[in-house]
Structure formats: C-alpha cells, structure tokens
Structure 1
C-alpha cells in the first residue's frame, strides 16, 4: 500500500462538557456501523491534524476524532487549569459513554500513544486494540531524550538546541529547561512570551522529520499562532509535571493489557521519542507487533510512516472482524 485513504467529511460534530469549565470538540466520520476507532492526537496541544481520517478505510471504520483539553477547537484554548493526564483519561471515557460505544480501537501517536496506553490500562474492557506511532512512555529518560543537553536530540542538532535553550540558567538540564519555559510562557511581557512559544515550537518542529521544507527550522510564519501557543504551553505544562505519572508507570502496569492486540510503528530516526521505548514496550506486551520504519523520523507526514499506519489499520480491521465472526 503506497497511498493514504481518501479523506472524508465528518457527518456529525459537536462539543461535550467534561467539567471544570472545559468543553471538548469532537467529530464522527466514516461508517457509523463500522469498527469504532478513536484518533488521539499528540502534543499535548497539537489538536486534530487536517488529514487524520486518511489513515482509515471509511467503509470499514467509524472514525472518531476529538481535541483534548485546551487544544484546537476545545474550550478554553491552551488552558492548563484542571488539565492533567488523568482528567484527559476520564474525558475519553466520558466521550465513549456519550457516543454509546462499547469498545473502540485506540489510534494514538507520540503523546497520543501515552494517553492511549494509560486509558487502556485504566479501562481494558473498553479497548478492542491499539495502533501506536512514535511511542512516548513519559519516563525521565524519555524527557531527557527530548530536552536534556545530553539527550540524542541535542547531540544531533546542537545548533538548534542552542537557540532553544538560550536564556536558560546554567546548569542546563531537562528540568531547568521546563522551569524556564514555564516562566516564559506565563510572562506578562508579550514579546518575551511569544518568543519563548516560538522557540519551543521550532525545536519540536525541527526534530519531527528527517527533512524539513526550507526555512521551517528557523521560523514559525507558516503556522497559526494559536497552534504554536497551544502546543508549547501544554507540552511545557505536562513535561514540567512529569506527565502526571509515576516513573515507569506504563511498563510496570503493562500486564493489564497483555491480552489486547496492538501494533507499534516507530521511525528509526525519531528524535522526539526514543526507538528504545517502542522496543521496551513490545518486549513486555505479548500481543503487540513492532514495525521500525527504516527511513523515517517522528512525523506522520513522512510517507513511510503514513503508509505503515494505513497498513496497520487495514490489518487490524481484518483481525477484529475475524474475531467477531
């Protein structure tokens, strides 16, 4: 399969109140009688990508997309109050109940893989399977990989890292980076605040793909400021708080979903999420399959990642249909 599925328009959308002043945007597409699949976006803060439905055969899947607390069209935008991992897990369960779905397939990438795994650990009876891309296990070593001067990202992209940590007090560590940006994104000085938001976004964008279009690594003019604000603010908030998870929480509890089928797709040269994390997850999850994509990094915009995800949804639909027949 060397193409994505055709995009489709949603047939129903709306908002659901989840408490604490938060209202989540969601939409439904594809076949209402098909296999329910929930698309869990990354970030935190990225919102739904425009082409997320292209990874699914709309004849076979009931495609559900939503935007997490503070993200995209959900309200209020970029709000960190009452916004943590466990409340986001509760939101998925609230959405499932609201839509009257018994079980759904979880499809999550990067932070979306973290949230999918934590939800599955909490509600294994509500999950038919998982398709995960760019696994992030939220361990200290995963945060170090992305933020520390000794992490692989900083070692391979030192010139971009220096721009990213400009102004961070010495000694520069993953924790001091988070502390600095937490202060900056809350600054009342708009120039300081916007500068910090853009530098955070630029750092992640430069790491996301093997090859970027010209200029993207140096500017954010091609991206709306609300997206830059949302992603930088929420990522900094969650990483500063160790993603609100105990150290190694996912792997230490993985036996709870040992019976659930899963596909793990990870780019060999992923600079945001460690390939080792995908391997470690696969080794402890008996029903998982691991595909390391040799010519890709982190982003679904890389062709080999997109094609692998389409194959995974095709194969999973066949497997789930066989199991139900």
Structure 2
C-alpha cells in the first residue's frame, strides 16, 4: 500500500501480536489436510475467522482484531491454500466442502455456537454457513460484502471497475487475445489450469495483481507481483469458484435466503469506496436482514488493512463484549 503523508496505519488499532496456543492439521474428505490454529483465551468466547479469496489463507494479523483475554480465536486455511494441503488443488474443493470443514473444526475443538468473522469471500462463506447452520452462529461480523452474484463478477471481471482504473485494467486484459476478452474468467481459467507451471504462475500473478491493485483506497493502481506459489493457489482457487458461481443453486442465493439470518446479530463493515465489492451489495444485505447493523466507512476501500476498516472491526468486537451480546 502506498503511504500518504499523515495517513494512519491499521496496526495502531489492533491488539498486540500473539502466538497460537494450539496448532493442528485435520484430515478431511478428498485427501485434504486443513491447518487450524487457536489463540487468545482457551476458555473465551469462540470466534471462527474465515479468510478471503477463495485462496487467500489466514495470517498472523488476523489474530489481532480480538481482545486475547476475552476471545478464543480459531483460524484455519481453507482447502488448497496457506498451510493446508494439497496446495492449489481444486479437487473436492467446493463451497459445501468448506462448510463441512467448518463443522468438522467445531466438532474437533468442541466449539458450541460461535461468532463468525469474515471479509470478502470470508463474508460470503460466513453468510452461507449461517444460512445453512443458523443454530451454530451467535453473531456475524462481516467486512467488504461479496455475495457471489453474476452482477458482482461482471463488475470486477467485465470492465466495470476497469472504468475507474483503465491503465490497470489494460494490463490485466493485455495478456489475453482480443477475441477471448468477452469472458476473462474463462480465458484466465484456460491458462491457470493449463498444466504448464510456468504459464499458470504467470497468469496467476497477473490475476492476483489486478485484485491487489484495487484493494485499497490509497492505491496507485499497481498491485505488485505476489510470490509464485501464493499467487497460483489464490488465482486458481478464486477462478475455480467464480467459474462455478460459488457452487450455489441459483444466482442471488444468499439474498434469497437471508430470512434464515433472522435472530443472528449481524454487523456489516463496508468501505464506501470499495472497488472490488461495491457497497450496493452490503446495502441490499442490510435491508434484507432485520436487525443488522451496517457501518459504512468513509475514505476506505476493500482491504482488511484499511485503517478505517480495522478500527471499526475492533470497535465492533469490543462492543459485543461491552453489550454482553454473546450468549
């Protein structure tokens, strides 16, 4: 992220760094081995943290949004990414496999109803999990809402966001022949799954760079070049899920089933200038979810690391405790 004079850093709003008190690998279906860690208070209020992507993996910074004396924080790397194995694999890797993995983690760790905390794809997965297992969720804390609809995919991969970042969009599309640019997800899919590691990595880095470049309101339009192994897992998994419309039965499935969220406390933290997941979706979710609390953060984009986003997420978690709204 480009540093602007006088710009505050997200880290100043976070709790101090902590190490896990437990790390393990859980064997799951399809030969997948899921990395899981716990930190904070072993007897605390459970929080299940769902990372973005799909394919982003969890990071040490994600532990720091929660008071470690109060919360029992559980993070895991979803199938195919981070420290989970096999790396970058899309075999037996669907939304419903991920929902099953969350249930397996709860069983393994003997976790009752919990707060579910997720951003971007993590918000998508959190919503799907809460809709299908409402009894397991006390609160949803969401950031940068993505509901896996065709409208959202068209916005980001069909030229909508590119109208704001034409030079960055040109770099992303320039690797694809003109006759294939009508469906960039499909065009990149052919190259990300070509079987040629060099080619897959090249296109994975371009895919990742396009998204990274638009993640923060402070961006100059350059997403940098992610390390090859990380980019390959991120791009292949994201493309796989988008190609398959997140494995949902119909377009708009989340909003059509939002009535099942009734009774779950919900907080939606949304950057006003989110170029990846525009605020319209967060607004629609809020209107369909009685009792949800929508917090638009001005001068903020999509990234978890945006100062205003981080500050608001920490504030939400602290307020849940202050209000004793966790039973």
TM range (shorter): over 0.9
How do 1:54-73 residues align onto structure 2 when only pairs under 5 Å count?
Answer: 54-73=64-83
- The aligned counterpart of 2:181 is 172
- The aligned counterpart of 1:96 is 106
After superposing on structure 2, the runs of 4+ consecutive aligned residues of structure 1 that deviate more than 4 Å are none
Whole-angstrom CA distance in 2 between matches of 1:323 and 1:202? 39
- The aligned counterpart of 2:171 is 163
Give CA-to-partner distance per residue, 1:230-278, whole Å, 9 cap, x none: 1111111111111111211001011111110010001011111120000
Give CA-to-partner distance per residue, 1:121-151, whole Å, 9 cap, x none: 01000001000000001111111111112x1
**Contact 1:47-1:72 at 8 Å conserved across structures:** yes
**Contact 1:35-1:317 at 8 Å conserved across structures:** no
SS at match of 2:138: strand
How do 1:72-91 residues align onto structure 2 when only pairs under 5 Å count?
Answer: 72-91=82-101
Whole-angstrom CA distance in 2 between matches of 1:197 and 1:265? 29
- The aligned counterpart of 1:244 is 247
Give the alignment partner of residue 321 of structure 2, picking from 306, 317, 320: 317
TM-score with structure 2 length normalisation?
0.93
Give the alignment partner of residue 253 of structure 1, picking from 245, 248, 257: 257
- 1:219 partnered with 2:224: yes
**Contact 2:200-2:232 at 8 Å conserved across structures:** no
Whole-angstrom CA distance in 1 between matches of 2:130 and 2:318? 21
Give the alignment partner of residue 57 of structure 2, picking from 27, 47, 72: 47
**Contact 1:113-1:135 at 8 Å conserved across structures:** yes
Give CA-to-partner distance per residue, 1:46-71, whole Å, 9 cap, x none: 00023001110011100000010001
**Contact 2:201-2:229 at 8 Å conserved across structures:** no
Distance 1:155 1:62, change over 3 A: same
SS at match of 1:170: helix
**Contact 1:168-1:177 at 8 Å conserved across structures:** no
SS at match of 2:18: coil
Whole-angstrom CA distance in 2 between matches of 1:143 and 1:107? 23
- 1:301 partnered with 2:305: yes
TM-score with structure 1 length normalisation?
0.93
- The aligned counterpart of 1:204 is 211
**Contact 1:38-1:106 at 8 Å conserved across structures:** yes
- 1:12 partnered with 2:22: yes
Give the alignment partner of residue 268 of structure 1, picking from 265, 268, 272: 272
Whole-angstrom CA distance in 1 between matches of 2:15 and 2:42? 17
Give CA-to-partner distance per residue, 1:134-192, whole Å, 9 cap, x none: 0001111111111112x1x111011111111221443633xx11111111012244443
SS at match of 2:179: coil
Whole-angstrom CA distance in 1 between matches of 2:103 and 2:325? 26
Q: How many aligned positions are there?
A: 315
- The aligned counterpart of 1:194 is 201
Whole-angstrom CA distance in 2 between matches of 1:290 and 1:228? 32
Structure 2 unaligned regions, length at least 5: 1-9
- The aligned counterpart of 1:281 is 285
Distance 1:274 1:56, change over 3 A: same
Whole-angstrom CA distance in 1 between matches of 2:38 and 2:212? 28
Whole-angstrom CA distance in 2 between matches of 1:93 and 1:315? 27
**Contact 2:191-2:199 at 8 Å conserved across structures:** yes
SS at match of 1:298: coil
RMSD of Structure 2 on Structure 1 (CA):
1.6
